[in-house]
A and B are shown apart, each in its own frame.
Chain A
Amino acid sequence: MSQVLATPRVRLPRTARAGDVIEIRTLMEHPMETGLRHEGARTVPRDMLTHMAVRLNGETVFSAELHNGTSANPYHVFFLRIERSSQLEFTWTDGQGRTARTEARITLA
Chain B
Amino acid sequence: MRTTRRTLLALAALPFAAAAAGEDALQAAIARLVGDAPIIDGGITLRTPPVAENGGQVPVTIVVDSPMSPADHVTAIHVFATRNPTPYVADFRLTPRLARAEVQTRIRLAEAQRIIVLARTSDGQVQRAVAEIRVTTGGCLS
List 18 A-B residue pairs with CB atoms under 8 Å apart, sorted by A's residue number: A21-B99, A37-B141, A60-B93, A62-B94, A62-B98, A64-B93, A65-B91, A67-B88, A69-B79, A69-B88, A69-B108, A72-B57, A76-B103, A78-B102, A79-B98, A79-B100, A79-B102, A81-B99
| Chain A residues within CB distance 8 Å of chain B | 21-22, 34, 36-38, 56, 59-72, 74-81
At the interface, yes or no: B16 with Cβ under 8 Å from chain A?
Answer: no
In the bound complex, CA of A71 to CA of B109 (Å): 9
Contact mask for chain B residues 69-80; partner A; CB cutoff 8 A; 1 contact, 0 none: 000000000010
**Residues of chain A within 8 A of B141, CB atoms compared:** 34, 36-37, 68-69
Chain A residues within 8 Å of B108, by CB: 68-71
* Shortest Cβ distance from residue B3 to the other chain A in the assembled complex, whole angstroms: 36
Check if B42 is an interface residue, CB within 8 A of chain A: no
Contacts of B99 in A (CB 8 A): 21-22, 79-81
B58 engages A66 (CB within 8 Å): no
Query: How far apart are A93's CB and chain B's nearest CB, in angstroms?
Result: 14
A22, A37, A70, A80: the one contacting B107 at CB < 8 Å is: A70
B81 touches A69 (CB 8 A): yes
Does B30 have its Cβ within 8 Å of any Cβ on chain A? no
Chain B residues contacting A21 (CB-CB under 8 Å) are: 99-100
Tell me the count of chain B residues lying within 8 A, CB to CB, of chain A. Answer: 33
| Complex alpha-carbon distance, A91 and B134, angstroms | 33
A-contact bits for B113-142, CB 8 A (1 contact / 0 none): 000000000000000000000000001111
Inter-chain contacts of A59 with B (CB < 8 A): 95, 97
Tell whether, in the assembled complex, residue A37 and residue B90 are in contact, meaning their CB atoms are under 8 Å apart.
no
Residue of B nearest to A19 (CB): B99
Query: How far, in Å, is A57 (CB) from chain B's closest CB?
Result: 9
Residue B26 lies at the interface, judged by CB distance under 8 Å to chain A: no
User: Nearest Cβ in chain B — how far from A28, in angstroms?
Assistant: 12
B49 touches A (CB below 8 Å): no
* B86 → A minimal CB distance (Å): 4
List the B residue with the shortest CB-CB distance to A81: B99
